[in-house]
Structures are given as structure tokens and as C-alpha cells.
């Protein structure tokens, strides 16, 4: 059984059906890369998994938590969604670091607020995590004093601070200058090697070839085809995939 | 103009200044509470409270402060609420400033990028935790310049309370003038005192703003 199990996920914005029944199972330690043209619903899909968007239909199962879409937002459902989020790290394209907190405080925030950790413990753990992402010397910098690549690595450390079961990334390097992309991808690769279960929306094909156990091509709110990076990039079966790949490779 | 007149009247004027400062300080504190709660109620949308809050803001913003003072001091006794002049003044000033402050708070909360709330709740924080730890500290910093503007207006508005016989700085000036027949000297002295109080206050807030925006300075 997968760590992530999504069944028939559907999402509409008004009349606009953005997700039209997506099924996905991700095994433990598996790295799944999602690609697809702009507007195909990739971000919406990831956001629905942690209920940043409320899906219209479907079942979301991550780790020990299972939530049906479209239920009433009562106390117990909100509680379950929160528990699910604690175990699901989410990395945003725009980092979304807390600008009034230092790098260290950003990474300490979760353990203190969510787990009720003591400041000393939280600090120690945060320092370890920042060292892990190569920013041991930037602990006391504010986000505004860090480059985009450094900010995104702090954001990854922040997600890791809650010991997530899975990590979701929505175009983690799209907002970065080209020369800063590598340092972020390197951190994600290290996590892949350690066995972290991850779903990554990205346009970085070389990165996908290196880390992805599976590549999913999405368009029009459905999964068009999936397979190993080699299968998808070198021998795509579907017309739409081929068209997308020739566009990206240009 | 005669310096001895200034010196002679200064003790009374300074004593009345104390009343002005007390009126302003108490009203600011109450207005901050009212303004903050009103803003939260309007943002979080707590059923009927939200409607009450918008009606309150609309009434206060749509009517002159002097009329509000009269309604509270002269009008309320008719429905059994009799307040002494000072309490009436404080109530009017707080309700008035509270409405304006709530707009500043609201704008400053809405100005925070929605990614901040998303980052916080996606870690598993509740809405309130996210508001308290992530959103409010940032919006407060944004709000300080407009808050300090409202505070300055409130300090000036305390002079309106003189019409319901509260002996604050302006009222005392008029009393002194009735004895000395030196309106220019005394009113200019009063103006100078207002200037000192307001400037001192502004410096204090500027200082606070600088300290809270340290993280934005490279
Ligand atoms: N909050 C929203 N309200 C209304 N429509 C939305 C909202 N968010 C997304 N959409 C619509 O849903 C569709 C899919 O958007 P989504 O952001 O999921 O695409 P994407 O695959 O992530 O694209 P990109 O590669 O540009 O990031 C788009 O047509 C978009 O306009
Ligand atoms: Mg997107």
C-alpha cells in the first residue's frame, strides 16, 4: 500500500473543471515528478493534497490520515486535515519564508508551535537542519538578506523540521535565477537518496532524469501518461506528451 | 506679548496638558482594543458581529466627532446613560479613533501576502496560531505609520472635548484668557504645548517603527 493514495480527485473553480479525476499512488521512498503545460492543474493538484484548496470530490490518503473531499469543515475534519498537514511538507515556488523571523527562527517555528518543543531543543534541531541544507553560517540572517536559492533551502529545512512523511514541491526552482537552481536541486536529491517520499512539480528535465522513479505527464486536469523518465522522455506514447516535450526542449 | 503672562499662566496650562495627555492616552489604549477587535471580526467574518462592526465603522466615519460627543454627553442621559464629561469625552474619542484604527488594522492584515497564511497552515498551524504568530506581527509593522497618524489626530481631537466642559488644554487656555485678556499669547502658548506633545509622540513611534523593521534592512 502506498504512503500517498489519491482516488478520483476532482476540483472545479466555478465552471472551470481543473482536475477531472486524478488517481495516484506513491510508495514509500518513491520520487514522483509531475510535468505538464501551464494551466494543466499541477499546482491545484498538489494544493488539494493538503487542502490548501478544498477538492470537490475524491479521497486523499497520506500516511495514517485519510480525508474525503467535500466534507463539512467541522471540528474533527479540521483536526484530521491539520494532522495530515503536519506530516506533509509543502515547498512553495515563492518560498513563503516568514520575513520577520531569521532563518533559524523560521525553522524553529514549526516544532515550537506544532509540537510544543522547548526553544533549546528546537534551536538545536533547526541548526542541524540548516547545516544539512548547507546554511549553517546563515542562521541569523533574515530572509531579505538571503538569495533566492538560500531562501528556498531554508524553506525546505522548515518543512523538514516537522519530520514529514512526504514532501510536496510546487516548482521549487522556477522563481530562481539559473545559477541558483542547482543548489536547491542538490538538497532535494540528497533527500531522495535518504529515502524521502516526494512529489515534485518541475520543468527541470535533467533533474527528473536523475531523481525521478516515475514521471507523470498531466494535461487538462488528468494524468495523460506515466512511466520512468526514460519511457516518458524518450518514448512517449501519447501525442500530447510528444507535443509538450518538443515545446520544452526548444 | 508679555513673557510674564506666559510664565504666570504656564502652571495652569501644564496641568491642563496633563488632562489632555490622559484623555489621549486612555482613549488610545481603548481605541486600539476596539480597532483591533473590530478588524479581526471583519476579517474572520464572525456572523452578526461582522455586520455590527461594519455599521459601527460606517456611522463613526460618516458623522462629525463633535456630533458624536454631543450625542454621548447630552443625548445618552435621555436613555438613562449619564456619563460625566471626562468619561463621555473618553468614550467618544475611543469609539471615534477605534473605527479609524480598525480600518488601518484591516488594511495592514489584508496587505500580507496570502502565501504567509498558506505556509503557516500547511505546517499544521490553526488559523488563529497563524494569525497570531505569523500574520499579525507583520501587519502591525505595516500599520505603525498609519496608526501614528491616527494617534496624532486623536491628540488634536481631545481639544473638541473642551465643549463639554472638560478642563483640558484648550478649555484652560480660554479660562486663562478670560482673566488675562491675552488671547494671542495664550493660544500661541497652547499651540506650542500641543506641538511639543505631538512631536514627542511622533519621535517615539518613529523609533518604534525603526526597531520593528530591522529585518527589512539589508
Ligand atoms: N484560486 C483559483 N481560482 C480560480 N481559478 C483557479 C484558481 N487557481 C487555479 N485556477 C485555474 O486552474 C487552472 C489550473 O491552474 P494550476 O495553477 O493548477 O495550473 P499549473 O499546471 O500549476 O500551471 P503552471 O505551470 O502555470 O503553474 C488554471 O486554468 C487556473 O486559471
Ligand atoms: Mg503551477
- For residue B218, pLDDT beyond 60: no
Extract the C-alpha cell encoding A60.
486523499
- For residue A17, pLDDT beyond 70: yes
User: What long-range pairs does B78-81 form, CB within 8 A, spacing at least 24?
Assistant: none
Residues with CB under 6 A from ligand 1: A 13, 16, 18, 36, 38-44
Extract the C-alpha cell encoding B35.
480597532
Structural domain tally of chain B?
1
For residue B138, give the nearest of A82, A85, A100 by CB distance: A100
Helices (H), chain B: 3-44, 47-62, 65-70, 85-110, 114-122, 127-130, 136-157, 169-180, 183-212
Average pLDDT for residues A224-249, to the nearest whole number?
A: 92
CB neighbours (10 Å) of residue B114? 10
Average pLDDT for residues B148-166, to the nearest whole number?
A: 94
| Atom 24 of ligand 1: nearest residue by CA position | A38
Ligand 1 centroid to A12 CA: how many Å?
10
The domain that holds B86 is classified in CATH as 1.10.3720.10
A192-234 tens-digit pLDDT: 999 999 999 999 999 999 999 999 999 999 999 999 999 999 9
Beta strands (DSSP E) in A72-153 are 88-91
Q: Quick check: A98 and B124 CB within 8 A?
A: no
Residues of chain A neighbouring B141 (CB-CB closer than 8 A): 100
State yes or no: ipTM above 0.90: yes
Look at B46 and A14; give whichever has higher pLDDT.
A14
A55-99 tens-digit pLDDT: 999 999 999 999 999 878 888 999 999 999 999 999 999 999 999
Average per-residue pLDDT in chain A?
95
Sign of torsion over alpha carbons A131, A134, A138, A142:
negative
Using a pLDDT cut of 70, give the percent of chain A over it: 100
Q: Quick check: A145 and B126 CB within 8 A?
A: no
Sign of torsion over alpha carbons A191, A178, A172, B138:
positive
How far apart CA B164 and CA B72 sit, in angstroms, is 10
Ligand 2 centroid to A11 CA: how many Å?
15
Q: How far apart are the first and last CA of chain A?
A: 39
| A239/chain B closest Cα distance in angstroms | 36
User: Kind and range of the H or E element at A168?
Assistant: strand A166-170
For residue A162, give the nearest of B115, B124, B137 by CB distance: B124
Instruction: Give the model's pLDDT for residue B216.
Output: 64
Full domain range(s) for residue B111: 3-217
Ligand 2 centroid to A93 CA: how many Å?
8
Residues of chain B neighbouring A96 (CB-CB closer than 8 A): 113, 115-116, 118-119
Amino acid at each position: 500500500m502506498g504512503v500517498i493514495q489519491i482516488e478520483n480527485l476532482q476540483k472545479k473553480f466555478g465552471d472551470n473543471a481543473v482536475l477531472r479525476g486524478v488517481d495516484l499512488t506513491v510508495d514509500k521512498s518513491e520520487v514522483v515528478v509531475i510535468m505538464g503545460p501551464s494551466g494543466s492543474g499541477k499546482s491545484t493538484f498538489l494544493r488539494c493534497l493538503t487542502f490548501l484548496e478544498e477538492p470537490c470530490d475524491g479521497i486523499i490518503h497520506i500516511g495514517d490520515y485519510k480525508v474525503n473531499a467535500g466534507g463539512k469543515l467541522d471540528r474533527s475534519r479540521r483536526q484530521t486535515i491539520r494532522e495530515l498537514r503536519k506530516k506533509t511538507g509543502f515547498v512553495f515556488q515563492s518560498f513563503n519564508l516568514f520575513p520577520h523571523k531569521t532563518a533559524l527562527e523560521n525553522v524553529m517555528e514549526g516544532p515550537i508551535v506544532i509540537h510544543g518543543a522547548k526553544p533549546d531543543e528546537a534551536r538545536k534541531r533547526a541548526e542541524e537542519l540548516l547545516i544539512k541544507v548547507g546554511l549553517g553560517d546563515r542562521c541569523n540572517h533574515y530572509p531579505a538578506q538571503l538569495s533566492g536559492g538560500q531562501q528556498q533551502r531554508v524553506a525546505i529545512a522548515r518543512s523538514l523540521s516537522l519530520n514529514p512523511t512526504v514532501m510536496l514541491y510546487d516548482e521549487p526552482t522556477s522563481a530562481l535565477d539559473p545559477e541558483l537552481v542547482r543548489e536547491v536541486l542538490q538538497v532535494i536529491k540528497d533527500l531522495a537518496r535518504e529515502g524521502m517520499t516526494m512529489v515534485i512539480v518541475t520543468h527541470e528535465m535533467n533533474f527528473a532524469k536523475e531523481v525521478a522513479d516515475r514521471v507523470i505527464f498531466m494535461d487538462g486536469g488528468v494524468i495523460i501518461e506515466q512511466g520512468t523518465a526514460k519511457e516518458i522522455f524518450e518514448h512517449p506514447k501519447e501525442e500530447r506528451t510528444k507535443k509538450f516535450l518538443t515545446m520544452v526542449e526548444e | 506679548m508679555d513673557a510674564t503672562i506666559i510664565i504666570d499662566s504656564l502652571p495652569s496650562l501644564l496641568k491642563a496638558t496633563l488632562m489632555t495627555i490622559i484623555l489621549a492616552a486612555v482613549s488610545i489604549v481603548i481605541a486600539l482594543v476596539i480597532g483591533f477587535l473590530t478588524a479581526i471580526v471583519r476579517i474572520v467574518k464572525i456572523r452578526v458581529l461582522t455586520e455590527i462592526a461594519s455599521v459601527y465603522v460606517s456611522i463613526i466615519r460618516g458623522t462629525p466627532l463633535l456630533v458624536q460627543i454631543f450625542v454621548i454627553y447630552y443625548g445618552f442621559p435621555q436613555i438613562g446613560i449619564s456619563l460625566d464629561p471626562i468619561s463621555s469625552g473618553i468614550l467618544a474619542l475611543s469609539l471615534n479613533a477605534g473605527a479609524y484604527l480598525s480600518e488601518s488594522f484591516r488594511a495592514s492584515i489584508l496587505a500580507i501576502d496570502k502565501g504567509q497564511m498558506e505556509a503557516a497552515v500547511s505546517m499544521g498551524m490553526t488559523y488563529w496560531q497563524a494569525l497570531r504568530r505569523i500574520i499579525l506581527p507583520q501587519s502591525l509593522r505595516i500599520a505603525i505609520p498609519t496608526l501614528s497618524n491616527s494617534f496624532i489626530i486623536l491628540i488634536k481631537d481631545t481639544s473638541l472635548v473642551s465643549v463639554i466642559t472638560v478642563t483640558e488644554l484648550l478649555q484652560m487656555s480660554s479660562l486663562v484668557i478670560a482673566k488675562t485678556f491675552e488671547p494671542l499669547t495664550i493660544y500661541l502658548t497652547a499651540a506650542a504645548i500641543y506641538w511639543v506633545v505631538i512631536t514627542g509622540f511622533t519621535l517615539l513611534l518613529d523609533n518604534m517603527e525603526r526597531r520593528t523593521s530591522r529585518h527589512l534592512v539589508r
